[in-house]
């Protein structure tokens, strides 16, 4: 990569060039501004004072020389006076160049100690080397400009480099993420737009890592869950060859149904992960929907307030069904369903009479195929039901949480509340 293709070089050159241009424009404005007019007026005033100090231009040469010497001592300057014809009248101090070698109101170009000339009101010309030109040694105006430009260049480099260095780190983070390192994060520095981009990148990287890990876990657990019914099916088919009784057929049919339901849940989980918005949105009576689903189960009572929510009826039904099936499978009857309003939200609570979930596992039960030990009984798992319920609720702008050991709460935005 050529050096001028790098962003920090472009930013740095732009900043320095802009500052130097501002300096040059300031110099140009100063040279044509009122300050120069004031300087010219000052020369006019000085001409009048010098004329008065030097006396009559027709006075004897000795008197004029004495006046020139007194003025030179008073001003501490080298002086030379020329009459209106250009003839040298007298000098004091070090030798000075003739008037024709000096521009009007400008110092002599190229002189080590610049000298000035200006016309007196009586026609004479005075050439002077001021004391600050005679005695002071130091950089000129252009050197001062160069020093200011150098300070600006040095001062702007950390700003330009700091900005682009953060962008380069962000670029490296994107490339590392693209290479497959999902755990990469970039350092967030400052509070400007670059910092917000870095923060957005970290959030996106975390979300991608979470989704990829969830899909990896889903595939790993799905293979384990599918293996059990497939094994039973294989054994059942082998036994069907020698014994085709009704009990065996019923067992094979149950295994097929379990396998079909598991595949359906895996596909639904993948589809919900890919969805960014609901496919269907309509008004749904949540209390009536809960009552319909409760009628499919034993020992389930439904109560509360009739409320309307906006959403997909199939997904809302799936949320309620999964929570009721989870209560029937892992809890104990009776199961209670309550629908209520809370400010601008709608709450649906499903409570069973079982021992419930310990505090340390109340968030993990929403992970796909989460399993927790249950002592002598081995392990118990939540499968995909709770994970699907949370996915569907979040697509509606709500959530599902385990409020207490045996109470699941669905929170949904209300409609017309």
pLDDT above 90 as % of the chain: 18
pTM: 0.48
Work out the average pLDDT over 267-282: 78
Top pLDDT among 362 and 58 is at 362
How far is Cα 78 from Cα 64, in angstroms, rounded to an integer?
Answer: 15
CB within 8 A of 278, min separation 6: which ones?
A: 311, 312, 315, 395, 396
- In this prediction, residue 149 carries a pLDDT of 72
- The CATH architecture to which 33-137 belongs is 2-Layer Sandwich (3.30)
The partner residues of 117 in beta bridges, in order of sequence, read 127
Q: What is the DSSP letter of 400?
A: E
CATH for 282-413 is 3.30.565.10
- In this prediction, residue 393 carries a pLDDT of 93
- In this prediction, residue 294 carries a pLDDT of 93
- The ranges assigned to domains in the chain are 33-137, 218-274, 282-413
- In this prediction, residue 220 carries a pLDDT of 62
Top pLDDT among 44 and 306 is at 306
Greatest mean pLDDT among 143-157, 209-223, 268-282 lies in 268-282
- In this prediction, residue 42 carries a pLDDT of 59
Q: Does residue 28 have a pLDDT over 70? A: yes
Top pLDDT among 117 and 402 is at 402
Q: How confident is the model at residue 134 (pLDDT cuts 50, 70, 90)?
A: very low
- In this prediction, residue 321 carries a pLDDT of 93
Q: Does residue 136 have a pLDDT over 50? A: no
Greatest mean pLDDT among 2-16, 25-39, 392-406 lies in 392-406
Write out the two tokens for 174.
Answer: 């994107």
- In this prediction, residue 111 carries a pLDDT of 47
Top pLDDT among 316 and 23 is at 316
Q: Does residue 47 have a pLDDT over 60? A: yes
Residue 405: count of CB within 10 angstroms of its CB: 15
Work out the average pLDDT over 226-245: 69
Q: Are 351 and 407 in contact (CB under 8 A)?
A: yes
How far is Cα 320 from Cα 304, in angstroms, rounded to an integer?
Answer: 15
How far is Cα 139 from Cα 117, in angstroms, rounded to an integer?
Answer: 22
Q: Does residue 217 have a pLDDT over 60? A: yes
Burial class (CB in 10 A: 0-12, 13-18, 19+), 339: buried
Q: How confident is the model at residue 244 (pLDDT cuts 50, 70, 90)?
A: low
Report the DSSP pairing between strands 379-381 and 371-373: antiparallel
- In this prediction, residue 135 carries a pLDDT of 44
Q: Are 275 and 283 in contact (CB under 8 A)?
A: no
Q: Are 346 and 309 in contact (CB under 8 A)?
A: yes
Q: Does residue 183 have a pLDDT over 70? A: yes
- In this prediction, residue 55 carries a pLDDT of 73
Write out the two tokens for 157.
Answer: 């480099």
Terminal C-alpha separation, the chain: 60
- In this prediction, residue 182 carries a pLDDT of 81
- What is the average pLDDT score of the chain? 78
| DSSP per-residue string spanning 39-83 | HHHHHHHHHHHHHHHH--TTS-HHHHHHHHHHHHHHHTSEEEEE-
- In this prediction, residue 322 carries a pLDDT of 92
Q: Does residue 288 have a pLDDT over 90? A: yes
């Amino acid at each position: 990569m050529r050096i001028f293709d790098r962003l920090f070089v472009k930013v740095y050159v732009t900043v320095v060039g802009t500052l130097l241009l501002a300096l040059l424009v300031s110099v140009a404005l100063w040279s044509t501004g009122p300050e120069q007019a004031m300087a010219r007026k000052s020369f006019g005033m000085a001409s009048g004072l010098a004329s008065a100090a030097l006396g009559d231009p027709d006075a004897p040469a000795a008197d004029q020389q004495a006046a020139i010497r007194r003025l030179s001592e008073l001003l501490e300057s080298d002086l030379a006076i020329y009459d209106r014809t250009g003839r040298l009248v007298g000098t004091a101090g070090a030798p000075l160049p003739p008037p024709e070698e000096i521009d009007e109101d400008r110092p002599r170009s190229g002189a080590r100690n610049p000298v000035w000339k200006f016309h007196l009101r009586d026609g004479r010309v005075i050439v002077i080397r001021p004391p600050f030109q005679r005695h002071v040694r130091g950089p000129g105006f252009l050197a001062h400009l160069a020093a200011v430009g150098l300070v600006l260049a040095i001062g702007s480099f950390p700003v330009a480099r700091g900005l682009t260095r953060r962008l380069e780190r962000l670029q490296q983070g994107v490339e590392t993420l693209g290479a497959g390192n999902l755990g990469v994060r970039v350092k967030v520095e400052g509070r400007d737009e670059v910092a917000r981009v870095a923060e957005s990148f970290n959030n996106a990287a975390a979300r991608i890592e979470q989704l990829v890990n969830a899909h990896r876990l889903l595939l790993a657990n799905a293979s384990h869950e599918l293996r059990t019914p497939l094994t039973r099916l294989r054994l059942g088919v082998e036994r069907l060859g020698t014994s085709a009784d009704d009990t065996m057929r019923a067992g094979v049919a149950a295994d097929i149904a379990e396998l079909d339901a598991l595949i359906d849940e895996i596909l639904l989980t993948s589809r919900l992960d890919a969805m960014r918005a609901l496919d269907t949105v309509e008004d749904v009576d949540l209390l009536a929907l809960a009552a319909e689903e409760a009628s499919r189960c034993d020992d389930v009572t439904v109560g509360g307030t009739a409320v309307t929510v906006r959403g997909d009826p199939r997904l809302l039904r799936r949320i309620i069904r999964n929570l009721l099936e989870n209560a029937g499978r892992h809890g104990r009857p009776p199961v209670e369903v309550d629908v209520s309003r809370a400010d601008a939200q709608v709450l649906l609570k499903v409570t069973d009479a079982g021992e419930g979930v310990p505090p340390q596992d109340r968030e993990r039960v929403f992970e796909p195929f989460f399993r927790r030990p249950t002592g002598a009984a081995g392990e118990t798992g939540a499968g995909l039901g709770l994970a699907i319920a949370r996915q569907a609720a979040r697509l509606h702008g709500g959530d599902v949480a385990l409020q207490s050991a045996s109470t699941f709460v669905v929170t949904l935005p209300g409609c017309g509340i």
